[in-house]
Structure 1
Amino acid sequence: MDGREWRVQVLGLARLCGPDGQRVRLERRTAALLAWLALQGPSPKFPLASLLWPDSPTTTVRGNLRQLLRRLRLATGEESLVEGDTERLALSAPSTVDAACLKAASEARAHTEALACVDAEDSTLLAGFDFDDCPELARWLDGARAGIAGWVREAREARITQLTAAGDWSAALGLARAWARQEPESEQAGRHLIRLQYLQGDRGAALATFEHLRDVLDRELGVTPMPETLALVREVEQAPARPRPAPATRFALPLSVLRPPVLVGREAAWRQLEAGWEAGQLLFISGEPGSGKSRLAEEFAATQGRWGRIEARAGDRDVPFASQARAFRTQLRRWPDVKLPDWVRTELSRILPELGEPRLLPPLASGAGMLRFYDAIVAALQLLHEHEDISVADDVQYWDAASARAFTFAFSRLADTAPPGGRSLRFIDCYRRGELSPEARMHVSRLVDAGLARIVEVDALTDEDVRRMVAAMGLPGAEAHVEALARYTGGNPLYVVETLKHLLETDSLQREWPQRLPPPGRVGPLIQRRLEGLSPVALQCARLAALAGAFFRASLVPRGLQVTPAEAHEALAELEAAQVLLGERFSHDLVMEAVRAGMGPGEERGLHARLAALFEEDGAPSILLAHHWLGAGWTEHALPHLLASARSDEQVLPPELAAGHYARAASLMQSLGRHAEAAQARAAEAQCRLQAASAEVSPFTPAPAAGPAARGSRG
């Protein structure tokens, strides 16, 4: 698909989706015709029409069919979705119909692609329609609905198993919850939900899920839970415990290794967090990569109230509002019932195009316009965090400057509008030690000096901490290696876990400490050994993902590596089994860094060029295209996109963002000897900076004395 075609949705609410955002409800028989062709393929014309109008004369049936196809063409502006001759009908492009895509993906056992075809909340074929007046069609529909339910169930089961084994419990939990909502009596879905809630540290929720499942089974089916469900619940009740071995061809890591059951060596840090919480301070948690910052933040937040998690990713710094947009999308997925006011949706469409049409908005060239945009951010934050007490932000060292500035303003305004003694949203930010930008580092220091924030440093575990951590995992043979493990890992929790994974995968726990492990205290070489065990296609796939960063999608792999969809799916599954990828992101930044470190300059330029071409086909943002063309060494290709990004930012974002792009373009033009064009870009830069200066609004740069402004220090 080129992204400019009409798409047909017959799973869930039946409708047409146009290339420019149009939505057209499908009439009952039209939807049935498209669903039939999607699942049955090309079909004889008159027998199919007779299913739709079973009691009508032949001439009426033929006339009705002609009118149906004519209305369908008119609805799409004369684009033909169905083609045929005097004898047969077929879909013009089956890949534009969700049911056909689901069928193809299910037959290929491409589970990720299959789930992408369905709505998480309702995958029922022709939902809301019945065909009691068309008995043969109704019988077919019953069978087709059962078949689709089976495909979706199989895809969910496989995908949840993959994600759980890979450690991406949040994504797996989302799938399990959707499954349990659609099939509340499914013990298969219930077991996944119980296991994942326990993995995320919420034992109470896991046990509550079991009680709900038991009630549903008793009320709806008159049965008791199966033995495997009861066995899983006993494991949760007796935590820490080893999971039952899952039937799988790949090695299944124990639950205790996927999430060590005891948080060790963090007693002093916990006391600091408690003191900062009582003082009403913004809490920063800083530490080396892999030191357990996120785990500490999440467990502490869980003791203080309802909490949610947002994150930044490597590459965000280069794209204005990338971090802010991801945070909003995370919250919109978490709280889909929240209704944003129209004016808020309109303003946020500047950074979330799916909420509206940003081209229809006036440029942010005035103080009033910028204030309205920032006020929309404040309103959205209030609504999207209405059911949460704490927001945990991970990897804030990656936050882009535009997002940081927006948060600074927003959280200042939130504090100003909070009622005296009322509940206010609290924040815990995690960042890598030494990796904040200079601007963010200075801002954090000012807040700490003013007593408004507290930095809690997370250091390496002691030898005794490592011993306690390993003992809690309950791995036979592991405690004999504690001394060597502590020395080898330097007490870094992630390194401990990664090393134990390696020993488990190589069946080394019951043997002497290996003599040929990588140098002590470094996980990079250990990850590199894991990468060396990948197939060539999987390794290339990982490298493509590393360069694509936050914009990586599984759909890029077949085109980017010129492999078949089946080969791409196999490579992605291999990366998940090796815990290199978790879905479409890396299991850890250290893994991504190891992947990038293994690339030669020539290979990196080649992959940048492929990504640039692919993103250009997909209509990606201009700044992203410029980034990859520059990475490929093709400056001439990058310049038009860099200028286009500047002009686009000038229309919908604060003008100082556009100024930076104009400045970069001018420098590149100067290096190519295009002096006249460089001068024009410099003039555009100067104009943007003048607009920025005239539009400056004082609340955007609050002083440290406004305590909650600390919360905008994500940078």
Structure 2
Amino acid sequence: MESRDGVAAERQAGWHARVLGYAHLEGPDGQRVRMDRRAATLLAYLGVEGPSSKAAVSLLLWPDSPPATVRNNMRQLLRRLRLGCGGTDLVDGDAQRLGLSPHVTLDLARLKGAAGRPLPPDVLQALRQGTGVGLLPGVHFDDCDELSRWLDGARAAVEGWVRSAREAEVQRRMDTRDWTTALALAQAWVQHEPESEQAGRHLIRLHYLLGDRGAALAAFERLRTTLSHDLGVSPMPETLALVRGIEKDAQWMAAPSSPRPALPMSVLRPPVLAGRRHALRQLQEGLEAGQLLFITGDAGSGKTRLAEEFAASVGTWFRLEARPGDQEVPYASQTRALRAYLARRPGLSMPDWVRTELSRILPELGNAAALPPLTSEADALRFYEAHAEAMRLLHEGDEVIVVDDVQYWDQASAKLFMYSLTRMMEQKHAAAARPPLFIDCYRKGELPPYSEANVRKLVDTGLARVIELGPLALDAVRELLAGLELPGAEPHAEALTRYTGGNPLYIVETLKHLIETDALQKDWPRRLPPPGRVGPLIQRRLERLSPLARLTAQLAARADLHFRAALAPEALQVSAAELHEALTELEAAQLLVAERFTHDLVFEAVHASVSDSAACFLHGRLARTFERDGAPAIVLAHHWMEAGQEERALPFLLAAAHSDERLLPKGQAAGHYARAAALLEAAGRAREAASAREAEARCRQTEATPTPGSSGVER
């Protein structure tokens, strides 16, 4: 254990800069000197980034000042630091570079470099107390966007370093049987992250090792309550096993952690499509009848797998998908579909009038000239006809199109697609060409009203049929397990069926969990997370990720349909190599593949794992990154709103309303105007609010105006 003498000995070495917690300088004689926000941020920047370009750092601190002023400001800043330390230079450099002087030690740099080594006494003391470990709390740079972005990223990095330092130091203290220090660290960790089961297990274990069995069991009850209330999960088997041993008052020794076993390929994609023979017969009958096919079922019931297997048996096929969030952006689903079609056929020639009309939702097809809004039914008809002609050309030769997650399809896209499909069906009778077979998959009970009504119309007129997938029966589960060829799996068939309710995804996720916890060839666990929920299992896989991989997954969940790996390095302030490593880890864990989540339930579990404060941070980083990338106004408005910065969201919300008003339907534009008006009213901007209300009323009046396709069916 360290003594005060160790800290005193450190002070004799020179000046110490503290940027974790309250920013200040400490001298060799114990004196304290306050630092202003830019001085503290300069030292933090050099501690994180190392020696840096003087010009780049200066522009970061004073982005809007003339070059001469910037240079003078930097000279004055360095001079203030030097005078505050009695003439000691804390920053070395020349006209080109800046770096930390050997005369100063920085707590942030020592935390960053502590991996694998004992913590310095002052950093250890801060972690033990549970305070003073955040980077420059309360410091903001709303007037310096680039600097604010860097500070957000550095704070996220510090949070990861703190977590890693706590874990390593607790383990080191336990290995040396310094349980008292380890207990103080674990208590501070639990106070900072009460939902961390890893921290909770350390606390339970250390109370017991120190002879306080009652405190250990009380710590477990607090952990169980937090997990249930905040995350909706139960403690992991490792935690339950630890507590059972304590309840028996048995001697317990920590077992070394082992690497996670690799998941067999058969589990990543089961080779046998079990229990779906009846559904396959219905699909074949629908194909022969020339019907549009809908596959529905609960989340994880195997809708997509069945559609893909059947499509492959028919011929060449292509897969599209809608994504959560599409319903908030008119034409989002169909725009994505069109871009996917065009990417398959880059040399396709389309009439000029078709390209011009499509440029309303695909600007890259236009000539950069703004088109007039659709103000009449004739204008809208031309837009719809252009899309129908494009669909006919793009689908020539296609045999099967699989459309996944139709429950997310936005209303404008649905109307546009169904108008085009109707035209294709009409042309089928007038020509030999046959439109492709469309197989649409959606979650049972989650279709929006406009889609649910239209599915009924299609089925009632004989143009479509719905194939509903139920859970797997026991025999089908046995068939699935036999196809996996996993030693030890088949004896669990009855328990798996009971535990998962026969949901194929739950079965596979449960098997992954049993493999990763080395429990597959043992008796069925006495306790597992509640049946019917895959979220707790995914939550445990999230906890095993590195901090950057977990943060990348959470960023992807908050970015939703707009996530692109190319933008993540800027949003997270990491290098491309670091991001590649994180994405590789996420793919290995079967959470993220090709910039999308492996399943909607994975997306939902990751999305729910983000705390409110972390969500504000991530949405702020996404808003800034998307703003640079030229994302749609409604996307920027959404992220600024979620970041809690309504003032910055307002101009984008109004821009989105103006943009939506140029296209149908008017109801969504009216909704954006109404939201903007409410924000303006709350901000006391009465005149602008009144203008937004007038625009809302204008859109409401035209909302009910008939449009092409309104008398037909919609998706």
TM-score by length of 2: 0.60
- Corresponding residue for residue 323 of structure 2: 313
The CA distance in 1 between the partners of 2:346 and 2:260, in whole Å, is: 36
- Corresponding residue for residue 538 of structure 1: 549
Q: Contact 1:467/1:479 (CA < 8 Å) preserved in 2?
A: yes
| Residue 397, structure 1, aligned to residue 435, structure 2 | no
Structure 1 stretch displaced more, 281-290 or 270-279 = 270-279
| Residue 581, structure 1, aligned to residue 592, structure 2 | yes
| Residue 664, structure 1, aligned to residue 675, structure 2 | yes
1:645-668 residue CA offsets vs partner (Å, 9 max, x unmatched): 122333466655433322332233
Q: Which amino acid aligns with 1:648?
A: S
- Corresponding residue for residue 643 of structure 1: 654
Q: Which amino acid aligns with 1:475?
A: L
Q: Contact 1:408/1:702 (CA < 8 Å) preserved in 2?
A: no
Q: Contact 1:365/1:691 (CA < 8 Å) preserved in 2?
A: no
The CA distance in 2 between the partners of 1:305 and 1:519, in whole Å, is: 41
Q: Contact 2:554/2:606 (CA < 8 Å) preserved in 1?
A: yes
1:585 deviation in Å? 1.2
The aligned length equals 456
1:383 to 393, 409, 412: 393
- Corresponding residue for residue 700 of structure 1: 709
Q: Contact 1:365/1:655 (CA < 8 Å) preserved in 2?
A: no
2:358 to 348, 351, 356: 348
Q: Which amino acid aligns with 2:506?
A: Y
1:400 deviation in Å? 0.9
**Which has more radius of gyration?**
2
1:427-469 residue CA offsets vs partner (Å, 9 max, x unmatched): 2211001111122222222333343332211010011100001
1:123-166 residue CA offsets vs partner (Å, 9 max, x unmatched): xxxxxxxxxxxxxxxxxxxxxxxxxxxxxxxxxxxxxxxxxxxx
- Corresponding residue for residue 281 of structure 2: 271
Q: Which amino acid aligns with 2:637?
A: A
Structure 1 stretch displaced more, 332-341 or 454-463 = 332-341
Q: Secondary structure at the match of 1:520?
A: coil
Q: Secondary structure at the match of 2:442?
A: strand
Q: Secondary structure at the match of 1:283?
A: strand
Q: Contact 1:627/1:638 (CA < 8 Å) preserved in 2?
A: yes
Q: Contact 2:316/2:398 (CA < 8 Å) preserved in 1?
A: yes
The CA distance in 1 between the partners of 2:586 and 2:611, in whole Å, is: 21
1:566-602 residue CA offsets vs partner (Å, 9 max, x unmatched): 3322222221211111121111111111111122222
1:378 deviation in Å? 0.7
Cα distance change on mapping 1:251 and 1:355 into 2, 3 Å = farther
1:383 deviation in Å? 1.3
The CA distance in 2 between the partners of 1:433 and 1:366, in whole Å, is: 37
- Corresponding residue for residue 431 of structure 1: 442
Cα distance change on mapping 1:594 and 1:692 into 2, 3 Å = closer
Structure 1 stretch displaced more, 288-297 or 673-682 = 673-682
The CA distance in 2 between the partners of 1:421 and 1:263, in whole Å, is: 37
Q: Contact 1:294/1:430 (CA < 8 Å) preserved in 2?
A: yes
1:611-646 residue CA offsets vs partner (Å, 9 max, x unmatched): 112212222111101011111222222111011112
Q: Contact 1:364/1:654 (CA < 8 Å) preserved in 2?
A: no
- Corresponding residue for residue 488 of structure 1: 499
The CA distance in 2 between the partners of 1:418 and 1:275, in whole Å, is: 19
1:689 deviation in Å? 4.7
Q: Which amino acid aligns with 2:648?
A: H
Q: Contact 1:260/1:473 (CA < 8 Å) preserved in 2?
A: yes
Q: Which amino acid aligns with 1:540?
A: L
- Corresponding residue for residue 417 of structure 1: 427
Structure 1 stretch displaced more, 427-436 or 555-564 = 555-564
Structure 1 stretch displaced more, 343-352 or 458-467 = 343-352
Cα distance change on mapping 1:323 and 1:346 into 2, 3 Å = same
The CA distance in 2 between the partners of 1:279 and 1:662, in whole Å, is: 46
The CA distance in 2 between the partners of 1:421 and 1:350, in whole Å, is: 30
- Unaligned 5+ segments in structure 2 are 1-258
Q: Please show how residues 460-471 of structure 1 align to structure 2 within 5 Å.
A: 460-471=471-482
Q: Contact 1:476/1:510 (CA < 8 Å) preserved in 2?
A: yes
Which structure has more RCO (C-alpha within 8 Å, separation ≥ 6)? Answer: 1
Q: Contact 2:666/2:703 (CA < 8 Å) preserved in 1?
A: yes
Cα distance change on mapping 1:538 and 1:452 into 2, 3 Å = same
- Unaligned 5+ segments in structure 1 are 1-248, 704-708
Q: Secondary structure at the match of 1:382?
A: helix
Cα distance change on mapping 1:318 and 1:359 into 2, 3 Å = farther
TM-score by length of 1: 0.60
- Corresponding residue for residue 41 of structure 1: none
Q: Which amino acid aligns with 1:597?
A: A
- Corresponding residue for residue 513 of structure 2: 502
The CA distance in 2 between the partners of 1:418 and 1:276, in whole Å, is: 17
Q: Please show how residues 14-53 of structure 1 align to structure 2 within 5 Å.
A: none
1:98-133 residue CA offsets vs partner (Å, 9 max, x unmatched): xxxxxxxxxxxxxxxxxxxxxxxxxxxxxxxxxxxx
Q: Please show how residues 194-273 of structure 1 align to structure 2 within 5 Å.
A: 252-273=262-283
1:530 deviation in Å? 0.2
1:331 deviation in Å? 1.5
Backbone CA RMSD of aligned residues: 2.3
Q: Percent identity?
A: 60
Q: Which amino acid aligns with 2:370?
A: L
- Corresponding residue for residue 406 of structure 1: 416
Structure 1 stretch displaced more, 671-680 or 598-607 = 671-680
The CA distance in 2 between the partners of 1:550 and 1:252, in whole Å, is: 29
Q: Contact 2:302/2:504 (CA < 8 Å) preserved in 1?
A: yes
1:612 to 607, 610, 623: 623
| Residue 600, structure 1, aligned to residue 600, structure 2 | no
Q: Secondary structure at the match of 1:378?
A: helix
Q: Which amino acid aligns with 1:545?
A: A
Structure 1 stretch displaced more, 623-632 or 518-527 = 518-527
| Residue 514, structure 1, aligned to residue 525, structure 2 | yes
1:535-569 residue CA offsets vs partner (Å, 9 max, x unmatched): 12211111111000111122333332233333322
1:284 to 278, 285, 294: 294
- Corresponding residue for residue 149 of structure 1: none
Q: Contact 1:286/1:430 (CA < 8 Å) preserved in 2?
A: yes
Q: Secondary structure at the match of 1:430?
A: strand
